[in-house]
Chains A and B, each alone.
Chain A
């Protein structure tokens, strides 16, 4: 078996999801190459070479890979795919964008968001917002797979010494242009890699009140998240969103504040190791998945929690 993992990076370092994807590749077994594609991403390629368990880093650096547009990424993957039995990427908005495109160009199905490797051709994946798990077997000669990163531990980030090989980008399709990325600046730990997450819902009432969560988060070294209701109400930006349509996370501790627990929110956090729910409505569905539930007015409970830490 030979596996190509597509690295997600910010030109300087790898995004954490890449390390979980490497672990999924290791469970399939075989040689693992890591593709670092982008514009001026040699530092990320160097970081990739230190990941434990990697045979080679393929480094494609070209202006046409700025913003890693799906069209150029897919063509690059297609040009490499014949050397591999499996191609893996994280099931983040990065991987989900170009992997199905590459799969269709190769005339293979994609196996989306695997949560378990059963064998080299058989995988488990959640369906219906995680309310069922499907075990599927692929008959395609090359298996294109996206990985639900919360279900795999992160591979060791340093200690490896893979060779870095420079490869050419595919010809620029010139069909699309990267205009820009606006991110909400946060000093805090990233939501998807945080060990502790405190999230607010519609019960927070406004964006100003999220500062109460910030204060608790600072004491715990936690990230701050939100339900879709809170994002739709404009309390916080979309990249805070935890759920089926936002980020799927599984921290050691998840504290849900003023979140009712809609199916689509539970789909994004119910694999967390310990779940705390604080809600004034004792009937809220969030309590059904909580390890510790506290029926209380969040405007009293959160400041108290802040004091107690």
Chain B
């Protein structure tokens, strides 16, 4: 079996996003970039499936500018077998990304597509669901546990009310939540080895897809700031302020 894993290059989650002065977006100039945390969980799960002998090959796919190669090399250093980079300078919406995934799935015929449940930059939480829709495959989102049994995937999903279990036919699309696993770090020898692993680059134009965005970003603003608070000396003062000043208890 083969797994196709999607990875996205995003602003490092430890870095605070700064809105550009002209309100056109977030200033990413010289900002530290990294693999989206949920994508790390997806890569880790794919590598574990291969280590367990459930699958034979892990292919990683990213859509983005040339620098996304760094993110793919990182995935290769973690243990993925080969990588595909679909090159575009545009920031695409999840629907367009899903169309690209569908085209790559047609080339690669994976048994499973694994992606992170959301990217921490645009916070759309759409791509996995859209890929499964376009492929006509089942989906299991927000996975915290995955078992492949008799050609089906048994998935525990993190939902607002607790943990839900679904069983889906394969091939399927599964989106990873943070508790799916604890991603490993790449060792230095593996980082070196990753430089020689195959990485195929495809120009987006060669896929011949309609990837036009459907939304226009009018402006990106700072969120309203909270008024600064006060420090209280003790519990008695806290309770007094909550009762008489904030009037919330």
Which residues of A pack against B, CB within 8 Å?
Answer: 67, 69-71, 74, 92-94, 96-105, 107-113, 122, 124-140, 173, 175-184, 192, 196, 220, 228, 232, 237-239, 244-245, 247, 252-253, 263-264, 270, 273-276, 287, 289-296, 301, 304-305, 308-309
Contacts and interface: CB of A to CB of B under 8 A. Distances in A.
A94 B123 contact: no
A244 B120 contact: yes
A276 B126 contact: no
A135 B229 contact: no
Contact of B223 (A67, A99, A132, A253): A132
Interface stretch (B76-84, B195-203, B233-241): B233-241
Interface stretch (B62-70, B92-100, B106-114): B92-100
Contact of B242 (A113, A244, A276): A276
A172 B158 CA distance: 24
Given A74-B133, A132-B222, A308-B235, 5 more contacts: A67-B164, A132-B223, A138-B215, A177-B167, A181-B163
A135 B123 contact: no
A133 B123 contact: no
B41 to A, nearest CB: 11
Contacts of B16: 131, 263
Contacts of A135: 217-221
A175 B131 CA distance: 15
Interface stretch (B43-51, B138-146, B183-191): B138-146
Given A70-B129, A134-B217, A135-B221, A239 B242 contact: no
B124 interface: yes
Secondary structure at chain B's binding surface: helix, strand, loop or mixed?
mixed
Contacts, number: 247
24 contacts: A96-B125, A97-B142, A100-B124, A102-B133, A103-B133, A104-B95, A104-B129, A109-B93, A113-B123, A127-B121, A130-B223, A131-B17, A133-B221, A134-B221, A175-B168, A181-B165, A232-B179, A237-B162, A238-B158, A291-B226, A292-B231, A292-B232, A305-B239, A309-B239
A309 B243 CA distance: 10
Contacts of B236: 308
Nearest to A191: B160
Interface in B26-79: 26
A70 B141 contact: yes
B229 A110 contact: no
B246 A253 contact: yes
Contact of B11 (A128, A181, A228): A128
B144 A173 contact: no
B244 interface: no
A70 B139 contact: yes
Contacts of B231: 287, 292-295
Given A103-B95, A128-B26, A132-B19, A110 B124 contact: yes
A132 B162 contact: no
A245 B222 contact: no
Contacts of B227: 291
Nearest to A307: B235
A71 B159 CA distance: 17
B164 A196 contact: no
A234 to B, nearest CB: 11
Contacts of B204: none
B249 A309 contact: yes
B129 A101 contact: yes
Given A133-B221, A239-B160, A109 B238 contact: no
A208 B179 CA distance: 22
Contacts of A132: 17, 19, 26, 220-223
Contacts of B246: 253, 274, 291-292
B84 to A, nearest CB: 21
Nearest to A253: B248
Contacts of B242: 253, 274, 276, 292
Contact of A131 (B134, B223, B249): B223
B98 A104 contact: yes
Contacts of A192: 160
Given A276-B238, A290-B229, A101 B168 contact: no
Contact of B161 (A104, A183, A264): A183
B125 A293 contact: no
B133 A126 contact: no
B94 A110 contact: yes
B230 interface: yes
A74 B239 CA distance: 49
B141 A177 contact: no
